Amino acid sequence: MTDFQGIINSIHDHLSKEEVKGVVASYIPELSKQSVNSLGIFLQHLNGDSFAAGDADIPFSIQSISKVLALSKAIAFEDNRIWQRVDVEPSGNPFNHLSLLELENGIPRNPLINSGALVVADILVTHLKNPKEDFLNYVRTIANDQTINYNKDVAASEKRTGYKNFAAANLLKSFSNLKNNVEDVLDFYFHQCSIDMTCAQLAKAFYLFANGGKCVNNVQQIPVSQAKRINAIMLTCGFYDEAGEFAFRVGLPGKSGVGGGIVAFLPNNFIISTWAPGLNPKGNSLLGMQALEQFTTQTKLSIF
């Protein structure tokens, strides 16, 4: 029997003593208020057991992790038609890079870079009657937690400084790959990224990807075939231009966000989430990456 609690306690204690903890994101001013010393780890096993260490119950802005949740909701409306508007290839570029978008005629490389996530947001604005309210209710449902909410201060901070996202949305619009008003899509997108969750809530929200599309309440939210596809995209694209490094070092599908969160999972086994706001030069949590590498190394649990 693997001593999960002992392992994550040991990893937390070891990494808490690290002197180099990365740099907290400041291009979204509200995120710069986070402490670089925060570190949380949470493990949710599919058998119902859960294990926590450190700051696993402190809410943080999930940022780009929300792109996976938005994609799972958009697929419910569009099914395979979605792939006519956004590709599934790794970008090899930073999450907010624009040059490929123009070279490839307004079709984003994948749904987990900003331009691809804006296309997904456009789909949700089209199909949802009250997009922000309905999407939040979807996230609350799959996580089985009605306390999850938007962080209005973060959303406002993103809107004030999101110049590259405005540029990407207008570029998409120029290629007719945005159907709604740019302002409406961006307002939804900034709120989507501003959702606050704890490590525990995040692990529960991602339960459906580890469980063949069934959420923590055992309700089938997405088909097994689509869960498989989303998991593949997370493995190849979930960490932007560091996706190969994460697969190499950790060996799990997952997704990061510039709020310092990472969630990863072993299908049919467990979900593990970390939060450490200090980022590496690629925009991924420095200590979170190390924690997950140490976890899969010590447990020998990965997809490889």
- Domains of the chain by range and CATH? 4-299 (3.40.710.10)
Check whether 93 has a pLDDT greater than 70: no
* Catalytically annotated residue among 86, 240, 250, 263: 240
Contact status, residue 124 vs residue 111, Cβ threshold 8 Å: no
Check whether 43 has a pLDDT greater than 70: yes
* Catalytically annotated residue among 255, 258, 263, 273: 258
The pLDDT, as a whole number, for residue 5 is 98
The pLDDT, as a whole number, for residue 104 is 84
Residue whose tokens read 């907010």: 96
The pLDDT, as a whole number, for residue 1 is 83
Instruction: Verify whether residue 189 is a known catalytic residue.
Output: yes
Q: What is the mean pLDDT of residues 278-295?
A: 97
Check whether 97 has a pLDDT greater than 70: no
Q: Give the pLDDT band (50/70/90) at residue 66.
A: very high
Q: Kindly report which listed range (211-215, 237-241, 271-275) carries the lowest average pLDDT score.
A: 237-241
Indicate the average pLDDT of the chain.
Answer: 95
Gap between the Cα atoms of 295 and 4, Å rounded? 9
What's the one-letter identity of residue 298?
Q
Q: Kindly report which listed range (100-104, 116-120, 133-137, 213-217) carries the lowest average pLDDT score.
A: 100-104
The pLDDT, as a whole number, for residue 209 is 98
Residue whose tokens read 């508007």: 85
* Catalytically annotated residue among 38, 139, 154, 189: 189
Q: What is the mean pLDDT of residues 25-37?
A: 93
Gap between the Cα atoms of 25 and 27, Å rounded? 6
* Catalytically annotated residue among 38, 64, 194, 285: 64
Structure confidence by residue, pLDDT tens digits, 165-204: 999 999 999 999 999 999 999 999 999 999 999 999 999 9
The phi-psi region of residue 64 (left if phi > 0; otherwise alpha if psi is between -120 and 50; otherwise beta) is alpha
Instruction: Verify whether residue 17 is a known catalytic residue.
Output: no
Give this prediction's pTM.
Answer: 0.96
* Catalytically annotated residue among 38, 61, 66, 67: 67
Structure confidence by residue, pLDDT tens digits, 116-173: 999 999 999 999 999 999 999 999 999 999 999 999 999 999 999 999 999 999 999 9
Q: Give the pLDDT band (50/70/90) at residue 241.
A: confident
Instruction: Verify whether residue 163 is a known catalytic residue.
Output: no
